[in-house]
Structure 1
Amino acid sequence: MSHHLPLVLFTFATLVASSVSHAADKPNIILLFADDISARELPLYGSTVWSPPEGGDTRDMQYRAETPVLDELANEGCWVKTTWATTVCSPSRAMMMTGRYAHRHKWWTNGDIGEVLRPNGNYEKWPLYESSPIQLGHIAQQAGYGTFWAGKTQMVGDLTRFGFDEGCFTPGNLSDKDNPYTDFKHIYRKQGGERILINVDSDKPADTYMQHGWYWYPHVRLMNHPSSSQEFQWWPNTAESRDDFGLHTYGPDVELDFVFEYMDRQQAKKEPFFVYHCSHLGHDAFDWFDPEENTKWPGAPIVHWDGTGYTRVEPKITGDEGQYDTHGTVTEPGIHNHVNYLDYQMWLYRRKLDKMGIADNTILIFCADNGTSGYGKHQSDRQKGTHVPLIIYAPGMTKLGEQDILVNLCDFLPTIADIVGAKIPSDYPIDGVSLWPYLTTDKAEHREWIYAYRGADTLIRNKYLMKDGNDRWWDVREQPDDLISYPKIDNWNDALELHREQRDRLTKIVEPFDQHDIEHDAPGTPPNPNASYGKKRKNKKQKPDQKKKGVLKN
């Protein structure tokens, strides 16, 4: 456990102390948080449109995912028709982890994060553990759970301060340049007076954004693993793992191996666990095996479903310096193959839980952080960027199958607090609403509206009306076949009285959250004279000396 917990957490710990003695009886929780996957990519949601390998829209069935295990999980548990994240990775993860909107934590969008002025005069991005010191991991820890963080962090600051005992990261953090095990990474180099992005593996220019490899031949870093006294170490970390590590090594497999190892250790101690598994699957990436390929999602290991279970083809890859042969053991590119592999991993989770004998005492949650790249990611248009899948399986739930309710990612913090038996201090404000009462009683509704943001853009909707980030209004009483082609309301004189009433109501609700241009940074922090922030709206007061800044490709 981190030794750097903020002071408020020690106060918080005393409020949940009564639950710790019974921690062994509490349900385990696995939250699989996928990356850049719109609800429309899962057949469960019934969309007539999904994403082809190059991005965009297609109705071609060969690019539609197949998810028998997630479908089964949704039927045995439930799935939510309308769940909103934000439009991109960092602020969605901030919403998920803190239970708060950006007017509190100040993570507005990628590349547009509120700053804090340090005593030495330096401005830094405001870490979530300072803006919001009670997070998912902290709540589980204080209720007696072991906590494990896997995959992508997308966080700034000290990763040991987010409430997780251990972690296995496939880091997207470009500052981690000392990995000695793989050259699947990029660097910038001056050539002919220009700054050129170079593929280190081939030593050739790369037409992409700067990244490390997180799929094949991945960068893997362990946090607080018992095999070492160090807080962080690169993996492979043993003679055996170093001998086996190579081009065939797939980052999502490594993450799951370490998750399972942790689950086994927790069971041996008879202590419950909370796994926060932030898979990269769904995120577009540079294809190291085919650097000239003009597709967004590199191929995955091949898996086959026979109606009762999966088999996986062992990958075989040979070559070097940008010239590779996958010998027919890797799928064609496409997000559908990423979704299929997530389905395979959920099958592995369910099989593991059965083998451990804890399936009846483990909650499984599948979600994603924002819309698909090339379709919804970064988009404020309607709910393209915000509409994500949500499947929940919890033994003893009263709700099964499709649930026509509204859920925000900020609802997870109070939901998990309810599950583990923790109490959030009454003077600690959050924006989420616990989903647990809805899932376990005869309660008919969850919440009346949901909200999202992208920089200065604000989005809000209920079951009748939606305002997108472009300040356009849409009639959302009926869901279209493609999940997005709602009727636009242009003439308010001819609009339904219901819609006029809801417009006024939603406009008032969103006002307290609309602080991007007036309270952008940490409280008490004067504007950084060297900063530039994201998109502004003309009717907002702008800070001086600020220019538009593009979003990061995370």
Structure 2
Amino acid sequence: MQVQLTQTQWIVMHRFMFTLVAAWIAAASSASSVRADDRPKQPNVVLIYTDDLGWQDIKCYDIDEPCPYDTPNLDAFAKKGVMFWQAYSPAPTCSPSRCAVISGVHPARAQKTHVVGGHPPHPHSINSSMMDPWYSGRMPEDTFTLAKAMKANGYTTGHVGKWHIAINHNAFPQPMDVGFDFTRSDRGAHQNVKDRLSGFATSAEDDAYRLDENGYPFHQNNADALQFLNQFKDKPFFLYYCTWLVHSPIITRNEALLNKYAERMGVDPAKTPSKEVPGQRNPFYGAMVESLDYYVGQVFHYLDSTEDPRWPGRQLSENTYVIFTSDNGGMEGGPTERYTDNNPLDRGKISAKEGGTRVPLFIAGPGIPAGVESDVMVNGLDFYPTILSLVGAERPTDKILDGCDMTPLLKSDPTNPALIKHADGSVRDTMAWHFPHGVALESTIRVGDFKLIRNYDHVGKPGTPNLELFQLYKTVDGTQQRVDIEEANNLAAAMPKKTQAMNQKLTEMLSEMNASYPAYNPNTKSELPGKQQVPTITEVEERNGIVRVEIQDNGASVQQVHLIYTLNGNDRYEEWFQISMQSAGADKFAISLPEGTTHYFINLIDENQFLVSYPSLKKLKGGQKSYTPHALTVTP
């Protein structure tokens, strides 16, 4: 007789088997620690930050539909430490998550909530009902970064791969501007190709991507990581290894892998599924995931097989903490093509729903138990304080760190949520995300088992609810049972008190971080409440470095007036900043221009959250390269 297991029974059995398989690793680790008195006091740290890798893209995270991607190295590594089922990225897109990890500061607090940024606010089109707020193009210049902190504690610091902490990959600041001693950014085998059905790597000696003995193309991105490890293995090191995989372009130079997944998925590589077709059925993406697994596996192998010069007779991995995760949820597809599927999670990258922020996370190293699976809620913001704690470095006293130190959790009981505490000793049970951009325009908060989504564009889109409440889990006697991680059952109407309480908590958290909010477009054709009362900027005068503004009151009071300015108008990396103007009397505001300002705009926001720009940018569309032709020019 065939026995059908319920989903909960299957997960329990899966985790039980996972623990048994890993038991010998824990025993071996315990035995070797007996002779660890001569361990170097400064352990190494490797943070592997992958790009767009989804929660369901690794085999060992399978919970519903079978994952078609082979990830043997990551599956094996998961058994060497703690595997987190409820790990989150700081943001649903890459740049703000990367800034948050390196700075330790929440994207809302840093005003770095999306990619690019650093430009004047304007609607995506004249008919858009809302527009993004101004947000920074980069990490704040004076940030005491994780790299600086590690360097101050005697570490050699290295960055390899994707950077994306500025408005452009090549703009300021670069890795060496923020504390890294070593940096390489080559895309390696993931360089784009004109025709992805040709140009595959071969065994020819003159092939820049020559296949290795295992049939994988040479990948400079990974070679750079191995070079750093080899070059600095005799010193305490911190490696921030950022893979370009598995971000688009969706290509592979490994023809054998492509054919393997095409056959497995029953898909012709010339006819990959459209974005409307669900499932993990893109053979190019499958080849990319397995390639990522292979290259990262080479790093694991190097650490496991290389003797530690500071600890003769031991391997580097015995005194190295390794963190593996992703910068955001999986990108499910592009304009015409399905890449992957985060099912059962809803949506993916560029959404604050679970599919956009829940990510894989493994952490292993000295003192961390092997083969443990944890349901504790953690975040990429936790890496900064955790890494400092793991290596014995003091936490900066004059700096806000929005994450928690995971060390007590990792080294005591990785399954106990009471061990995740804020700096003041209070247990953390709440996280918030702020993504006031594009098609999302939302903020979210998770408190324990429940998650609330606040949709800002609910007025211009009547079918979109203002607030959505979901119960992801039900905790019974300390054990979480899966309820609605799909975010399919909106409980806002059924649980109004909890909905309002969580919404108020979200407001308090965003207010404390001085978050910026999306604004209504006064030029939209849509009928929006308060559109007829929007104030008018009647005069802007600049004299002797001081800008004065006069405003006409049309019924709605002015809440904020900002100077949006640039110091490098018409530059290739033109970047705009925002500062508040001060009241100079009734309906008048003034400010001294920051030194070096070349061009500027005036923005005002009224009590109904309408934003007025002077000069107007109502006819511009997204993706503008330069705003200086539309701006006011500073008088010489």
Indicate the TM-score class for this superposition, using the shorter chain for normalisation.
0.5 to 0.7
Tell whether the 8 Å contact from 1:34 to 1:280 is kept in structure 2 after alignment. Answer: yes
Tell whether the 8 Å contact from 1:98 to 1:135 is kept in structure 2 after alignment. Answer: yes
Local SS of the residue matching 2:84: strand
1:101 Cα deviation from its structure 2 partner: 1.4
With over 3 angstroms needed to count, the CA separation of the structure-2 counterparts of 1:393 and 1:23, relative to structure 1, is closer
Per-residue Cα deviation, 1:256-298 (whole angstroms, up to 9, x for no partner)? 212222212212xx2111111110111120xxxxxxxxxx454
Letter in 2 for 1:448: D
Cα RMSD after superposing both structures: 4.2
Q: State the alpha-carbon separation in 1 of the partners of residues 173 and 412 from structure 2.
A: 39
TM-score (norm 1): 0.64
Counterpart of 2:48 (choices 32, 54, 61) is 32
With over 3 angstroms needed to count, the CA separation of the structure-2 counterparts of 1:537 and 1:137, relative to structure 1, is farther
- Kindly indicate whether residue 170 of structure 2 is the aligned counterpart of residue 154 of structure 1: no
Tell whether the 8 Å contact from 1:40 to 1:482 is kept in structure 2 after alignment. Answer: no
Q: Give the aligned partner of residue 141 of structure 1.
A: 151
Q: Give the aligned partner of residue 461 of structure 1.
A: 446
Letter in 2 for 1:508: E
With over 3 angstroms needed to count, the CA separation of the structure-2 counterparts of 1:72 and 1:496, relative to structure 1, is farther
Letter in 1 for 2:244: H
1:30 Cα deviation from its structure 2 partner: 1.2
Counterpart of 2:97 (choices 78, 92, 98) is 92
Q: Give the aligned partner of residue 391 of structure 1.
A: 362
With over 3 angstroms needed to count, the CA separation of the structure-2 counterparts of 1:514 and 1:158, relative to structure 1, is closer
Q: Give the aligned partner of residue 87 of structure 2.
A: 83
Q: State the alpha-carbon separation in 2 of the partners of residues 414 and 103 from structure 1.
A: 19
Q: Give the aligned partner of residue 511 of structure 2.
A: 511
With over 3 angstroms needed to count, the CA separation of the structure-2 counterparts of 1:442 and 1:171, relative to structure 1, is closer
Q: Give the aligned partner of residue 32 of structure 2.
A: none
Per-residue Cα deviation, 1:231-270 (whole angstroms, up to 9, x for no partner)? xxxxxxxxxxx95525879888212212222212212xx2
Local SS of the residue matching 1:76: coil
Letter in 2 for 1:463: G
Q: State the alpha-carbon separation in 1 of the partners of residues 483 and 217 from structure 2.
A: 35
1:482 Cα deviation from its structure 2 partner: 9.0
With over 3 angstroms needed to count, the CA separation of the structure-2 counterparts of 1:498 and 1:276, relative to structure 1, is same
With over 3 angstroms needed to count, the CA separation of the structure-2 counterparts of 1:472 and 1:256, relative to structure 1, is same
TM-score (norm 2): 0.56
Q: State the alpha-carbon separation in 2 of the partners of residues 110 and 550 from structure 1.
A: 13
Tell whether the 8 Å contact from 1:363 to 1:394 is kept in structure 2 after alignment. Answer: yes
With over 3 angstroms needed to count, the CA separation of the structure-2 counterparts of 1:246 and 1:141, relative to structure 1, is same
Q: Give the aligned partner of residue 220 of structure 1.
A: none
1:165 Cα deviation from its structure 2 partner: 0.9
Per-residue Cα deviation, 1:10-66 (whole angstroms, up to 9, x for no partner)? xxxxxxxxxxxx995311111111111221222322342xxxxxxxxxx5x5x6222
Letter in 1 for 2:361: L
Tell whether the 8 Å contact from 1:89 to 1:110 is kept in structure 2 after alignment. Answer: yes
- The 5-angstrom pairing of residues 188-267 of structure 1 reads 245=208, 253-267=219-233
Taking only the aligned residue pairs, the percentage that are identical comes to: 23
Per-residue Cα deviation, 1:473-501 (whole angstroms, up to 9, x for no partner)? 2112257599424421131xx32866665
Q: Which runs of 5+ in 1 are unaligned?
A: 1-21, 49-58, 116-122, 173-181, 186-198, 207-214, 218-241, 286-295, 305-330
Q: Give the aligned partner of residue 406 of structure 1.
A: 377
- The 5-angstrom pairing of residues 174-185 of structure 1 reads none
1:451 Cα deviation from its structure 2 partner: 2.0
Counterpart of 1:70 (choices 60, 63, 74) is 74
With over 3 angstroms needed to count, the CA separation of the structure-2 counterparts of 1:149 and 1:549, relative to structure 1, is farther
1:366 Cα deviation from its structure 2 partner: 0.9
Would you say how many aligned residue pairs link Structure 1 and Structure 2? Answer: 412
Q: Give the aligned partner of residue 25 of structure 2.
A: none
Q: State the alpha-carbon separation in 2 of the partners of residues 301 and 136 from structure 1.
A: 39
Q: State the alpha-carbon separation in 2 of the partners of residues 257 and 104 from structure 1.
A: 36
Local SS of the residue matching 2:396: coil
Q: State the alpha-carbon separation in 2 of the partners of residues 99 and 252 from structure 1.
A: 34
With over 3 angstroms needed to count, the CA separation of the structure-2 counterparts of 1:76 and 1:171, relative to structure 1, is closer
Q: Give the aligned partner of residue 275 of structure 2.
A: none
Q: Give the aligned partner of residue 128 of structure 1.
A: 139
With over 3 angstroms needed to count, the CA separation of the structure-2 counterparts of 1:489 and 1:551, relative to structure 1, is farther
Q: State the alpha-carbon separation in 1 of the partners of residues 610 and 487 from structure 2.
A: 33
Q: State the alpha-carbon separation in 2 of the partners of residues 155 and 34 from structure 1.
A: 15
- Kindly indicate whether residue 350 of structure 2 is the aligned counterpart of residue 350 of structure 1: no
Q: Give the aligned partner of residue 440 of structure 1.
A: 411
Tell whether the 8 Å contact from 1:380 to 1:468 is kept in structure 2 after alignment. Answer: no
Letter in 2 for 1:465: F
Tell whether the 8 Å contact from 1:150 to 1:278 is kept in structure 2 after alignment. Answer: yes
Larger radius of gyration: 2
With over 3 angstroms needed to count, the CA separation of the structure-2 counterparts of 1:75 and 1:537, relative to structure 1, is farther
With over 3 angstroms needed to count, the CA separation of the structure-2 counterparts of 1:216 and 1:549, relative to structure 1, is farther
With over 3 angstroms needed to count, the CA separation of the structure-2 counterparts of 1:460 and 1:381, relative to structure 1, is same
Q: State the alpha-carbon separation in 2 of the partners of residues 453 and 549 from structure 1.
A: 23
Q: State the alpha-carbon separation in 1 of the partners of residues 101 and 114 from structure 2.
A: 14
Q: State the alpha-carbon separation in 1 of the partners of residues 51 and 231 from structure 2.
A: 27
Per-residue Cα deviation, 1:160-186 (whole angstroms, up to 9, x for no partner)? 2122111120369xxxxxxxxx9977x
Counterpart of 1:424 (choices 388, 391, 395) is 395
90-99 vs 390-399, greater mean Cα deviation: 390-399
Per-residue Cα deviation, 1:271-326 (whole angstroms, up to 9, x for no partner)? 111111110111120xxxxxxxxxx454647579xxxxxxxxxxxxxxxxxxxxxx
Q: Give the aligned partner of residue 236 of structure 1.
A: none
1:502 Cα deviation from its structure 2 partner: 4.3
1:343 Cα deviation from its structure 2 partner: 2.1
- Kindly indicate whether residue 110 of structure 2 is the aligned counterpart of residue 105 of structure 1: yes
Q: State the alpha-carbon separation in 2 of the partners of residues 432 and 523 from structure 1.
A: 26
Q: Which runs of 5+ in 2 are unaligned?
A: 1-37, 121-133, 167-171, 259-280, 307-314, 334-340, 342-346, 421-427, 456-466, 475-480, 518-559, 565-575, 582-592, 594-598, 625-636
1:334 Cα deviation from its structure 2 partner: 3.2
Q: State the alpha-carbon separation in 2 of the partners of residues 523 and 466 from structure 1.
A: 32
Tell whether the 8 Å contact from 2:222 to 2:296 is kept in structure 1 after alignment. Answer: no
- Kindly indicate whether residue 287 of structure 2 is the aligned counterpart of residue 337 of structure 1: yes
Q: State the alpha-carbon separation in 1 of the partners of residues 83 and 317 from structure 2.
A: 19
Q: State the alpha-carbon separation in 2 of the partners of residues 421 and 248 from structure 1.
A: 42
Local SS of the residue matching 1:283: coil
With over 3 angstroms needed to count, the CA separation of the structure-2 counterparts of 1:380 and 1:398, relative to structure 1, is same
With over 3 angstroms needed to count, the CA separation of the structure-2 counterparts of 1:421 and 1:257, relative to structure 1, is same
1:510 Cα deviation from its structure 2 partner: 3.6
Letter in 2 for 1:342: L
